[in-house]
Structure formats: structure tokens, C-alpha cells
Amino acid sequence: MSSKRYFILFKNIRQVIKAEKYFREKQIACKVMPVPSRISSECGMCLEVNKPANEAQLENLRQVGFECSCVAL
């Protein structure tokens, strides 16, 4: 079992707020987390998900207006 963690990063905190709501509506499990300091030293939030988001899933998010990427740590 992989011990990796997967974080979806967004353009800004406003998008994180909208995305968290969107994920809950779609019943996609997610956890609001500070952006890991390995990725950014700035104070930001992101969403941690259980599985890596594939490109198609990210594309779906982009189509509803989110500028996002998935990072595995």
C-alpha cells in the first residue's frame, strides 16, 4: 500500500473554498490542509485527497473553472 499523500493545489484560496464545497457536493472525500511547506513556504490551503487525481479528473475540474494540479508527496 502506498504511503504517498496527494494534494490538489489551486490558483488561490478562493478556488480552494469553492473546490471544497464542490467536492462535498460531489461526495468526493477531501481534507483541507495547509499547502505542505515542501511545495510552498507561503501560507496557503489545498485539498488532500485519498487517490491521485488523474489528468481526466483534473480536466473535469478545469472545465468547471478550477485551475489546479495534483502533487504526490
Partner 1 sequence: MKVVDARGKRCPQPMIMAKRLWKTLADSEIFEVWVDNAVACENLNSFLADHNASPKSIEREGYTAIEARKPEKASEKPEPEAVCAPSNSAYTVVLKNDKMGHGDDALGEILIKGYINALAEIDKLPEAIVLYNAGVLLARKDSGASEGLAELSQKGVDIILCGACVDYYEIKSDIACGRISNMYVIAELLAKTGHIVYP
The Cα 33–Cα 44 span in angstroms is: 9
Q: Does 28 bind partner 1 (CB under 8 A)?
A: no
Rule CB under 8 A: say whether 11 interacts with partner 1: no
* 3-state SS track over 20-72: HHHHHHCCCCEEEEECCCCCCCCCCEEEEECCCCCHHHHHHHHHCCCCEEEEE
Q: How far is the CB of 26 from partner 1 (least distance, A)?
A: 14
Residue 45 or 58 with smaller CB distance to partner 1: 45
Q: Is 32 in the site for partner 1 (CB under 8 A)?
A: yes
Residues that bind partner 1 (CB under 8 A): 13, 16-17, 20, 24, 31-34, 45, 48
